[in-house]
Amino acid sequence: MNPEPRSIRRIAINTGGGDAPGLNAVIRAATLGAYECGWEVLGIRRGYMGLLEAEVDGEPGICPLTPHSVRGITHLGGTILGTTTRGNPFGMEVRRPDGSWGTADLSDTIIERFRRLEVDALVAIGGDGSLNIAHSLHQKGLPVIGVPKTIDNDLQATDVTFGFQTAVEVATDALGRLHSTAEAHQRVMVVQVMGRHTGWIAVASGLAGGADVILIPEIPFQIDRIIDKVRERDATGRRFSIIVVAEGARPADGAPSYADETGRYGGIAERLAEDIETATGKEARTLVLGHIQRGGSPIAYDRNLALRFGAAAIRCIHDGNLGTMVALQGQSIVAVPLGEAIAALKTVNLANDTIQTVRQLGISLGD
Amino acid sequence: MNPEPRSIRRIAINTGGGDAPGLNAVIRAATLGAYECGWEVLGIRRGYMGLLEAEVDGEPGICPLTPHSVRGITHLGGTILGTTTRGNPFGMEVRRPDGSWGTADLSDTIIERFRRLEVDALVAIGGDGSLNIAHSLHQKGLPVIGVPKTIDNDLQATDVTFGFQTAVEVATDALGRLHSTAEAHQRVMVVQVMGRHTGWIAVASGLAGGADVILIPEIPFQIDRIIDKVRERDATGRRFSIIVVAEGARPADGAPSYADETGRYGGIAERLAEDIETATGKEARTLVLGHIQRGGSPIAYDRNLALRFGAAAIRCIHDGNLGTMVALQGQSIVAVPLGEAIAALKTVNLANDTIQTVRQLGISLGD
Amino acid sequence: MNPEPRSIRRIAINTGGGDAPGLNAVIRAATLGAYECGWEVLGIRRGYMGLLEAEVDGEPGICPLTPHSVRGITHLGGTILGTTTRGNPFGMEVRRPDGSWGTADLSDTIIERFRRLEVDALVAIGGDGSLNIAHSLHQKGLPVIGVPKTIDNDLQATDVTFGFQTAVEVATDALGRLHSTAEAHQRVMVVQVMGRHTGWIAVASGLAGGADVILIPEIPFQIDRIIDKVRERDATGRRFSIIVVAEGARPADGAPSYADETGRYGGIAERLAEDIETATGKEARTLVLGHIQRGGSPIAYDRNLALRFGAAAIRCIHDGNLGTMVALQGQSIVAVPLGEAIAALKTVNLANDTIQTVRQLGISLGD
Amino acid sequence: MNPEPRSIRRIAINTGGGDAPGLNAVIRAATLGAYECGWEVLGIRRGYMGLLEAEVDGEPGICPLTPHSVRGITHLGGTILGTTTRGNPFGMEVRRPDGSWGTADLSDTIIERFRRLEVDALVAIGGDGSLNIAHSLHQKGLPVIGVPKTIDNDLQATDVTFGFQTAVEVATDALGRLHSTAEAHQRVMVVQVMGRHTGWIAVASGLAGGADVILIPEIPFQIDRIIDKVRERDATGRRFSIIVVAEGARPADGAPSYADETGRYGGIAERLAEDIETATGKEARTLVLGHIQRGGSPIAYDRNLALRFGAAAIRCIHDGNLGTMVALQGQSIVAVPLGEAIAALKTVNLANDTIQTVRQLGISLGD
């Protein structure tokens, strides 16, 4: 199924799922790398939707990507191709003849469109959902190379994902700003950061930002341990506390789930603040960092990782190494089979020295 | 009542109310300026509480401020003296003999403590509440010079207050980050910024940060105008919108008050998002910026304004110009009588060219 | 000569001279403001060169500016129209028939081109050189409105110019970074900032960044006073010193001019460092900040000032208030006659409280 | 020679060589980690000098480090202990009886002082010079654990060193600012970054910052290749170029060494700019980033790496794993024998995918 290296003439690039700082750097590196091989590049807008909609808002669904069109985009947030969290070719929302909405498998249509466009390979940049789709398309005959994208850094196959360090930097900066006001006012600040399934951002920003408590999904917390920490600090004259909580953190077994009760994003920070206020009598305020963690210009670390991913994807296509995903392992970019890559969630390794460091610094993990 | 300039030997400095970026710069400039005059300086911790509590958490309530102790603090957020929103000498929380809590007028005690410490003048840095207290203490015989502090920039007597531009910068940076993710996902983002009574931060950050709608307390909004704007943008292919709302913004007469309904900080953004989602069917997300606007390092503009305020306070004391507050008017620092200074709220001037600019740029003000 | 307000149908915008953070914000506000009036807008590339060169590098010399083309540019450094420090219509470099180069007055040609393009008014954004040209073109019959641009902040007619506060922020940030390394190594750091004729950037960044010595063109310095300051600090245990020097600073009368001797940009910092090393035996290092002060994204303050300038220019055209320059005076944007506006250099007011503050803080001005 | 884990009662910490962002984070983590073990901690000021000088500038040469004294220092640049590039115990500058200066081996004195202070182990944070000294002291009987410090990232034993990513971020930010002004003025900018022996900072910042040419010590450059690149860009309408040059870059064999000719720091950028101006007729300007790369607050990445190093050093002492240096290898902190650790310089791996990426992006490496 893999094309002969020399037979490549045209590739396509798309971005899917939530955005992450570094997407444009991947697009740039893949485009320039392809041109250096003498290939043409097509950008597909809004995931796979650009193949189905000839034009939206005056913009064609497909655009040529050239050295000119990817100039000066390395540092830009978002994605010049647009993205969508809808638009799965295997379950596309469609309107039925009777006017009602349903889903349909349009994967054959998608693959046919790629064929008519004479696309020899697709660089699919996306999270686990998008990579699953990419894998299925590859299995149906469309040569695909995957580029992982998750600011949560929770993909087993790669040591780090781009966008993650930028999110950590943004969260750390916010913690720094909160410190001075929390100290001046002797308050408890509860800061909710991203991480539905894993605590990578919470641990890294909490450590760098001087948190007193870090709560992550990997370690169900006991509210009493948190309150103990706030009181202990008070008793020794540090009358403020900073608590960083991943959005997916949850109380230890037996306790009611905060998330279930509140049933909405942002709930855990509010609930923690209430419990702490009630127990300690101290003012507790919340900050839900939300989308500023995933928007905006990537830091240099993420730009470089993203550029390396994009360039590596082109080398994979050139070498006929398709059906794979590029990944960072140690100091090098490697290609791992897509099927394996998307299988496993990478949770925070509780035995790693980072967690030891957290404990040695006297930071409570709520356990 | 004002002391003879030559008779000054010792002054005191305190900070009251919420913190603002630049407080430490005022403290530094006032301390260095006083030393240059040959005076001693005492810092009073936690507003006036440091005069009443001999020691808290191992720290004395009063500390000498020297050139050494104010080194390297210009760029630090918070206040090295601590602050409190409680601790009004004229209505101090005290425990009665029967064990219950009440308030008592301890202003005579406070003034007596200043006398025993041989303090010849007090530099009181604070918001309207703190400046009111300072004014009353001055009237009771304690020579006072006020330094205005409000990141909301809502004090009539001064063109600008320190901390305001830093808050605007933080909010603008957040808006920039949200832009790329809002555009990538075609979402509506509602960002709540500080401003209970005035829209200065909302206007300045909304303008600089490219908001599509700016809602301020000075202009009660009509939800239909906001929805129109979102729809108009959608219809012309800009499928995302950024709405900046001051926490004190409210709907036009006749409509129910959002604040009353939700009864809590953060309510207005959530409510707007719900209304917009319902009306337009678009995803709407909120970000309540909260305390990161007031914490952290001041930008150069605020450092300089704060340093100038602190130095001017010393010149006022030197010149016997007491019972006044320092203020920026045009390019110069002036001294205005405290009694006048604290009287008037400065709302956004709707006739000023800034609001004209907002309208010329096609930004909706919800009216 | 001024057009009837209602007769305006098309305006042009150009940018001239060195770039400054905020140029794109002016272009955006002027374009959107014009569209709101129902006018068309033409952008002239590379100063006036775009009128003479039909196409350069595949880009036409003139481009329509539309709401679409000015989207998302408020925060971008540089200018989307390009700029040039050559290209004076009254003395344009031209190749003579014999092949040699000379200058020619092409102002009539320029005006004729504007007429053929049916341009009713020109928004000329530039420094004193560009505004002088704009004034002359206005006098020859082309209706012009000027927008001042100088990051040096040295124009008498306006309280502040856009780009200045960004330059101050960049320089202050650099000073902050140097502080920790200077202190750790007990070094003298000499930092050269922009300011050929005036010390605005040096004073504002030196004050905010904690300089120990600030040298500006307005106050010729005595090298002995600088060395005294370094020694005095050493003697009291502060074994490092930070010296900020405007590129145009010079020694007091009698001493040889550093600039003459070295004859190049960057010379003054090097020479000061050598003199201080020789006199004190301490290591002295230099940093010439150079172009990073004028490139990059404008801070919110400058974005807003630039947007206000651009919007005000459109109001001036609308009101027939031509041959003027927009300017900030106090809290408002005003229009001043171009002829007056470009006449006077605004030097640092040595009687203003800012300079008093510098002295009260114990910072040496080298005098 | 290694102490029994349980026998540890007191450790010391010092910092040597040039400063790097993250030093204070190491100090904090080591101090808190030690307290958690029940140990006391002494800070030695200015490398080993604090052991020899009872007091300098009113500060004792040795200070207790406590949880209180290391509060809020994670984000601070520099080192709270001070540092020095002089002060080698094996070759200390001393004044001879005849008044002249010479060097003396004071290592026995140093070790004796540590013994009298009952220091059971030393955490020595420093570059290759300082680690060599630490190794020799260890061999003479002082139990030592080394923590590597080089912002150049050029130590073979560890994948990354703290401070490096901060330097890259600062240089990348500067490149971003230069881009807009270089483009507006169609100039060549030559930016000199740190890296005497290796090109790590140049490659990482050049890649992230969009450089057109990156020159590193590992690849001797040919000036003609650089000029070709500038001309090639000009010919395709990109009339500006950004060149990043490591301070230790040098021309290929046969060409005269720039460094030898100019004989000073900063020389290479100036010389390159002159050569490019001469050859292309384009304006070329230089920026020597210098010390702002090593001062100031570390980014989150470096804070976390430094905290992990400091905590790991304590675990090494606890486990009796002395005479080693902590290092990052893959995702984990390991301990490597000091003797091996300091032996080898880590140059940029020219076979690594990062260099491949540079070439795929069309960036010239001057070869």
The span from the CA of C119 to the CA of B226, in Å, is: 36
Question: What number is the average pLDDT over the span D301-312?
Answer: 98
Distance CA C169, CA C208 (A): 9
- Which residue from C131, C123, C194 is spatially nearest to C158, judged by alpha carbons? C131
Which one has a higher pLDDT value, C274 or C96?
C274
Minimum distance, in Å, between the CA of residue A308 and any CA atom of chain B: 22
Q: ipTM of the predicted structure?
A: 0.94
Amino acid of residue D105: D
- CA A298 to chain D, closest CA, distance in angstroms equals 10
CB atoms within 10 A of CB A289: 25
Half-sphere exposure of A365 (CA within 13 A, CB side): 21
Q: B-chain residues within 8 Å CB-CB of A19?
A: 180-181, 184-185
Place of tokens 């640049």: D77
List pLDDT tens digits, range D132-151: 999 999 999 999 999 999 99
Q: Do B165 and C32 touch (CB under 8 A)?
A: no
Positions of C annotated as catalytic residues are 152
- Between CA B209 and CA B171 the distance in angstroms is 8
Residue written as token pair 């004479």:
A118
Residue ranges of alpha helices (H) inside chain D are 23-36, 49-52, 107-116, 128-139, 164-185, 200-208, 223-235, 258-262, 267-280, 300-318, 338-341, 353-360
Q: Buried b vs exposed e over A329-351: b needs ≥16 C-beta within 10 Å?
A: eeeebbbbebeebbeeebebeee
Q: Which of B164, B165, B173, B304 to mutate to test the interface with C (most CBs of C within 10 A)?
A: B304
Residue with tokens 């540079």: D358
pLDDT in tens, B240-282: 999 999 999 999 965 655 654 444 445 799 999 999 999 999 9
- Beta strands B62-64 and B92-95, pairing class: unpaired
Architecture of domain A165-293: 3-Layer(aba) Sandwich (3.40)
Q: Which amino acid is at B104?
A: A
Q: Is the pLDDT of residue B85 over 80?
A: no
Mean pLDDT taken over chain D: 91
pLDDT computed for residue B284 by the predictor: 94
Q: What percent of chain C has pLDDT above 70? A: 94
* Alpha-carbon span D269 to D189, nearest angstrom: 9
| D165-293+350-360: in CATH 3.40.50.460 | yes
Question: Is the distance from CB of B223 to CB of B277 less than 8 angstroms?
Answer: no
CB contact under 8 A, C307 and B357: yes
Domain borders along chain B are 5-162+296-330, 164-293+350-360
Do A308 and D333 lie within an 8 Å CB cutoff?
A: no
Determine whether the interchain pair A204/D300 forms a contact, defined as Cβ–Cβ distance below 8 Å.
Answer: yes
Q: State the amino acid at position B266 in one-letter form.
A: G
Asked if A21 and A298 count as a contact pair (C-beta separation under 8 A), the reply is: yes
Interchain proximity B77–A19, CB inside 8 Å: no
Residue D119 identity (one-letter amino acid): V
CA C207 to chain centre: 20
The rounded radius of gyration (Å) of the Cα atoms in chain A is 23
- Beta-bridge partners for D148: D126
Catalytic residue chosen out of the listed positions D19, D120, D128, D152? D152
Interface of A with B (CB under 8 A): 18-19, 56-59, 76-79, 82-85, 170, 173-174, 176-186, 189, 236-239, 285-288, 290-292, 294-296
pTM (two decimals) = 0.94
Query: What is the CATH architecture of C164-293?
Result: 3-Layer(aba) Sandwich (3.40)
Q: Which residues of B are catalytic?
A: 152
D72/A179 Cβ within 8 A: yes
List the chains bordering chain A where 3 or more Cβ pairs fall under 8 Å: B, D
Interchain proximity A79–B184, CB inside 8 Å:
yes
Please tell me the distance in Å from C115's CA to the nearest CA on chain B: 27
Instruction: Calculate the average pLDDT of chain B.
Output: 91
The mean predicted confidence, pLDDT, of chain C is: 91
Least Cα separation, residue A32 to chain D (angstroms)? 6
pLDDT band at D265 (very low <50, low <70, confident <90, very high): very low
In angstroms, what separates the C-alpha of A108 from chain D's closest C-alpha? Answer: 33
pLDDT at C6 over 80: no
- Residue B139: Cβ within 10 Å count: 13
Q: How far apart are CA D232 and CA D221, in angstroms?
A: 17
Which residues, at least 6 apart from D92, have a Cβ–Cβ distance to it below 8 Å?
A: D52, D103, D104, D105, D106
| C-to-D residue pairs, Cβ atoms closer than 8 angstroms | 121
Grade residue D255 by pLDDT with cuts at 50, 70 and 90: low
Give C22→chain D minimum CA distance, Å. Answer: 12
Where is C157: in which H helix or E strand? Answer: none
Q: What is the 3-state secondary structure (H, E, C) of chain B?
A: CCCCHHHCCEEEEEECCCCCCCHHHHHHHHHHHHHHCCCEEEEECCCCHHHHCCEECCEECEEECCCCCCCCCCCCCCCCCCCCCCCCHHHEEEECCCCCEEEECCHHHHHHHHHHCCCCEEEEEECHHHHHHHHHHHHCCCCEEEEECCCCCCECCCCCCCCHHHHHHHHHHHHHHHHHHHHHHCCEEEEEECCCCCCHHHHHHHHHCCCCEEECCCCCECHHHHHHHHHHHHHCCCCCEEEEEECCCCECCCCCCHHHHHCCCCHHHHHHHHHHHHHHCCCEEEEECHHHHCCCCCCHHHHHHHHHHHHHHHHHHHCCCCCEEEEEECCEEEEEEHHHHCCCECCCCCCCHHHHHHHHCCCECCC
Q: Would you call C361 and B303 a contact, using CB atoms and an 8 Å cutoff?
A: no
Return the pLDDT at B1.
Answer: 39
The whole-angstrom separation of Cα B61 and Cα B43 is 8
Do residues C226 and C364 make contact, with C-beta atoms less than 8 angstroms apart?
A: yes
Q: Do D184 and C287 touch (CB under 8 A)?
A: no
A291 vs B181: CB contact, 8 Å cut-off? yes
Task: Report in angstroms the alpha-carbon separations of D186 from A72, C46, C257, D241, D287.
Answer: 15, 10, 32, 8, 16
CB-nearest to A295 from B83, B179, B238 is B179
State residue A312's pLDDT score.
Answer: 98
Q: Per-residue pLDDT for C263 more than 50? A: no
Instruction: Give how far D48 is from chain C: nearest CA, Å.
Output: 14
User: Which CATH class for the B5-162+296-330 domain?
Assistant: alpha beta
| H helix runs in C107-188, sequence order | 107-116, 128-139, 164-185
Decide which of D138 and D53 is more confident.
D138
Q: Which chains touch C (3 or more CB pairs under 8 A)?
A: B, D
Interface of C with D (CB under 8 A): 18-19, 56-59, 76-79, 82-85, 170, 173-174, 176-186, 189, 236-239, 285-288, 290-292, 294-296
- The single-letter DSSP state of residue A183 is H
SS3 D146: strand
State the average pLDDT over residues B23-52.
95
Query: Beta strand pairing status for D59-60 and A59-60?
Result: unpaired
Instruction: Yes or no: say if A135 and A342 are a contact pair by the CB < 8 Å rule.
Output: yes
Residues of D within 8 A of C176 (CB-CB) are 295-296
CATH 3.40.50.460 fits B164-293+350-360, yes or no: yes
Residue A290 amino acid letter = G
Mean pLDDT by 10 residues, chain A (367 residues): 68 92 97 97 92 77 94 92 84 83 90 96 94 95 96 94 97 94 88 95 98 97 96 91 96 64 62 94 92 92 98 97 96 94 90 97 97
* Integer Cα distance of D102 and D91 in angstroms: 9
Question: Residue D298's closest chain C neighbor by CA?
Answer: C177
Active-site amino acid positions of A: 152
Structure confidence at residue D57 (pLDDT):
66
The partner residue sitting opposite C184, judged by closest CB among D78, D178, D286, is D78
Of the candidates B180, B186, B292, the beta carbon closest to that of A76 is on: B180
CB contact under 8 A, D29 and A360: yes
Q: Which of B28, B36, B168 sits opposite C300 (nearest CB)?
A: B168
Residues of D in contact with A328 (CB under 8 A): none
Model pLDDT for residues C76-91, shown as the tens digit of each residue: 998 999 888 777 899 8
Query: Going by DSSP bridges, is the β-strand pair B59-60/B55-56 parallel, antiparallel, or unpaired?
Result: antiparallel
D21-52 pLDDT, tens digit each: 999 999 999 999 999 999 999 999 989 989 98
pLDDT tens-place string over residues D189-220: 999 999 999 999 999 999 999 999 999 999 99
Residue B8 and residue B4: Cα distance in Å, rounded? 7
| C5-162+297-341 classified as CATH 3.90.76.10 | no
Do strands A92-95 and A101-104 pair parallel, antiparallel, or not at all (unpaired)?
Answer: antiparallel
Q: Do domains B5-162+296-330 and B164-293+350-360 have the same CATH topology?
A: yes
Answer yes or no: is pLDDT of D262 > 50: no
- CA dist., res. B54 & res. B44, Å (int): 11
Model confidence at B347: pLDDT above 70: yes
- Residue B26's pLDDT band, with cuts at 50, 70 and 90, is very high
In this predicted structure, what is the pLDDT of residue B6? 58
Residue keyed to tokens 């497909």: A62
Residue C1, pLDDT score = 39
State the DSSP H helix or E strand holding residue D2, giving kind and residue range, or none if neither: none
Q: Is the pLDDT of residue D2 over 50?
A: no
